[in-house]
Structure 1
């Protein structure tokens, strides 16, 4: 009953908003609200509620519309609606309305309650709702809508836009589910978020997902899409670094991580770059990242730079870990304050320009998504690190409902297509390449210069080593 009441309240709020829009020039908002409230009170005490918002809207429209108010249309005396045998809703359910035919006959018979034209209006509404359950001509009103199962998840912040997309919500609703998500850094999800509140966790890497699986004793997982790591910059910055030998222009722009690491280890500042007249700033040449202690994107940056620092070899063993940390920790500690998740640095890049953020480490999906939504400035550039690493966005189901979401995101064609529209690479690569082509984003369709991230334990040791360097 509480759910039905909430649904009726929401429907009546929508009714009020529509009436304000329709009659705002003739009546004040207070007048419209008063009419809706007065009409609604005429239905107090009736057990069957599914038609109340429809009837309230129809009657309120007649009272508010000048043409109707001055006509001789029969008055609806709702105070006598006890004569209408509405019955109870014991037989109502999804696709099974209460005895509609008997109601229609009763409505047609009861001349004490409905005037001729008003009765016809109500009959049309009831018949339309009972037979189709579709929209009325005054707005989206449905009878007996199917209940959606609410499924809650905690997701990497770069996926928030995907889950907030109305098209995604509609696609999920077709399968009877409504997904509510909270954003968090992927390492936060794996280390400090109370997962007992959620049905699924959706970090942005296989390593974070593995940690969650270990902690929760979960064997299943889904990887509905992936995104390589990339660097977002601006054309003047890319040109400067091309002169320094770090960047290679072309159909797609590549960023040599080994040459960059050599530059950063020397502490080279922007104003020390030869021929720099476009960005003569006294700060270190560094890629801006998130906080490696909380965020997966920074952990992926660590994985790539550690591989290069370890003579282009996957880091294994304590000696290799210590050596890699000694070379790469300054890439983080010299940045100053860093955000806990990837959403904020990219927004700053879009809004602030190259002044505060000349280069930012991102998911490729963020850049493609921004291009698809017209958020990029004319001089923005997408660079692919050489090498890069692939971020596997992994759903860890924490119960049956979470497992349902993992399957849907991985197998439903519509959801896979929507993931591509948000810049992710689903299992069908052609979906992604089409989105990139449509929005003229130069991407590498088939990445080959990709390294494997270290195993779970090694990555944790590297992250711990960098965390100690902050102190």
Structure 2
């Protein structure tokens, strides 16, 4: 299954869950899911898939709403037995209308058998009809049927809403870890309600700052403040927005966490913490997994390393370098040529010893979710990625979230490149619905309660108070270190 197909099906699943809640009082969950599946099948084979989840949701919501608002079925009028075939005399039209009182010899006038016609009539029409049986001449009965039918048809009609004004298309380049957020049908709808359609491309945050042609976009949205500040300088932009953030974390597995606890690297608690200083000791002594005492779960002849992204392109790798260089520099932020030179051999080893690394954080985390601890027992991630995966049911038993000690907070920084981009930045920062949806995707937004609720609802143990947080080196220092590491790749 391709990545695009997986994201589309995840979007359909989230929308289905949302509609189950919306229509909980009127439709069963099974019925809502059936309607969504039927709507989804309408788009089988369609080559352009960008807006399929949005269209499926509109179709399903319309059908479910229509079924809620449709008038309740009424009891059909009782059907009288069919009349006997009239004789020729009876079939002839009367010369004059006669009432029973005018019949000769006191006999009642000839009355045709009662003729009834069953028709689906709205409740309002039926309520106005007499409760007793009324015998109608055939012509008048037909007229009533026609009138009732017209009423039914007219009641079924709704005046078409005026066409919505065209949406303003705003194009942005974003860090890949935010792609699922921007593709969420609820996020797309929230922007549309404000008259905006956001089109995005994803890239590594360092790529966004250094090599992406920003003239094609209305905003740039890397995953770190240093990258955002560099873009501001390069584009001479004074405005920036930080609508949400995410601390760096490590995704691992319970046997690995237990093994590293014995080795003095991991400290158990409400959330496990990972001692970067002790970890660097194992790296510098070239310790391998099968050399750890009591290791019966991961006996492999591999160096103990955290899997990261490519430092030449990705912000999450830059955040890893910021933390490890801080610890290697005697718990001080690296600044100046001498400090850079002193920490460079160790931080270079942390990257080059890994072999191949992906350009974006999406790659190694997807491998963590699907392959298991074989190739990558520890993966460097954004906390938001783990929480977001939990909301989509992708976290399996035995998967563990650890926090490095110290850690850094990655502040997702949006730099508007024109007025349209500024509008998106303001909406992301101030719109309560978009802030809530950001929390549902694992980001820490302005309202801490939103994030805490999402984590609790999906049983993810997260750090509530981030205390052991260090500063990131200046953009220039970070770039010098990253460039030097990059050269070592050859």
Unaligned runs of 5+ in 1: 1-17, 30-114, 134-142
Task: Identify the match of residue 329 of structure 1 among 331, 337, 348.
Answer: 348
Kindly indicate whether the alpha-carbon contact (under 8 Å) linking 1:227 and 1:390 is maintained by their aligned counterparts in 2.
yes
**Alignment partner of 1:146: what SS?**
coil
Kindly indicate whether the alpha-carbon contact (under 8 Å) linking 1:322 and 1:465 is maintained by their aligned counterparts in 2.
no
Kindly indicate whether the alpha-carbon contact (under 8 Å) linking 1:368 and 1:423 is maintained by their aligned counterparts in 2.
yes
Tell me how far apart the structure 1 counterparts of residues 250 and 167 of structure 2 sit (CA, whole Å): 40
Residue 224 (structure 1) aligned with residue 233 (structure 2)? no
Task: Identify the match of residue 148 of structure 1 among 167, 173, 180.
Answer: 167
Partner deviation per Cα, 1:234-290 (whole Å, 9 max, x = no partner): 000001111111011111000000000010111111111111110001111000000
Partner deviation per Cα, 1:95-120 (whole Å, 9 max, x = no partner): xxxxxxxxxxxxxxxxxxxx999998
Tell me how far apart the structure 2 counterparts of residues 446 and 283 of structure 1 sit (CA, whole Å): 34
Unaligned runs of 5+ in 2: 1-34, 45-145
Tell me how far apart the structure 2 counterparts of residues 119 and 176 of structure 1 sit (CA, whole Å): 39
**Alignment partner of 2:302: what SS?**
coil
Tell me how far apart the structure 2 counterparts of residues 195 and 414 of structure 1 sit (CA, whole Å): 28
Residue 238 (structure 1) aligned with residue 268 (structure 2)? no
Tell me how far apart the structure 1 counterparts of residues 372 and 336 of structure 2 sit (CA, whole Å): 41
Spell out the pairing of 1:47-126 with structure 2 (5 A cutoff).
none
Task: Identify the match of residue 339 of structure 2 among 311, 320, 335.
Answer: 320
Q: State which structure, 1 or 2, has the greater radius of gyration over its C-alpha atoms.
A: 2
For the aligned residue pairs, the C-alpha RMSD in angstroms reads 2.1
Task: Identify the match of residue 282 of structure 1 among 297, 301, 307.
Answer: 301
**Alignment partner of 2:158: what SS?**
helix
Tell me how far apart the structure 2 counterparts of residues 457 and 122 of structure 1 sit (CA, whole Å): 71
Tell me how far apart the structure 2 counterparts of residues 204 and 121 of structure 1 sit (CA, whole Å): 57
Q: Which residue of 2 aligns with 1:68?
A: none
TM-score normalised by L of structure 1: 0.71
Number of matched residues?
A: 350
Q: Using the TM superposition, give the Cα deviation of residue 129 of structure 1 relative to its aligned residue in structure 2, in angstroms.
A: 2.9
Q: Which residue of 2 aligns with 1:338?
A: 357
Q: Which residue of 2 aligns with 1:139?
A: none
TM-score normalised by L of structure 2: 0.69
Q: Where in structure 1 do 4 or more consecutive aligned residues deviate above 4 Å?
A: 115-125
Q: Which residue of 2 aligns with 1:367?
A: 386
Tell me how far apart the structure 2 counterparts of residues 464 and 184 of structure 1 sit (CA, whole Å): 18
Tell me how far apart the structure 2 counterparts of residues 175 and 156 of structure 1 sit (CA, whole Å): 23
Residue 390 (structure 1) aligned with residue 409 (structure 2)? yes
Q: Which residue of 2 aligns with 1:464?
A: 483
Tell me how far apart the structure 1 counterparts of residues 166 and 475 of structure 2 sit (CA, whole Å): 41
**Alignment partner of 2:290: what SS?**
helix
Q: Which residue of 1 aligns with 2:184?
A: 165
Tell me how far apart the structure 2 counterparts of residues 268 and 373 of structure 1 sit (CA, whole Å): 36
Q: For the structure 1 residues 392 and 119, does the alpha-carbon distance in structure 2 shift closer, same or farther, using more than 3 Å as the test?
A: same
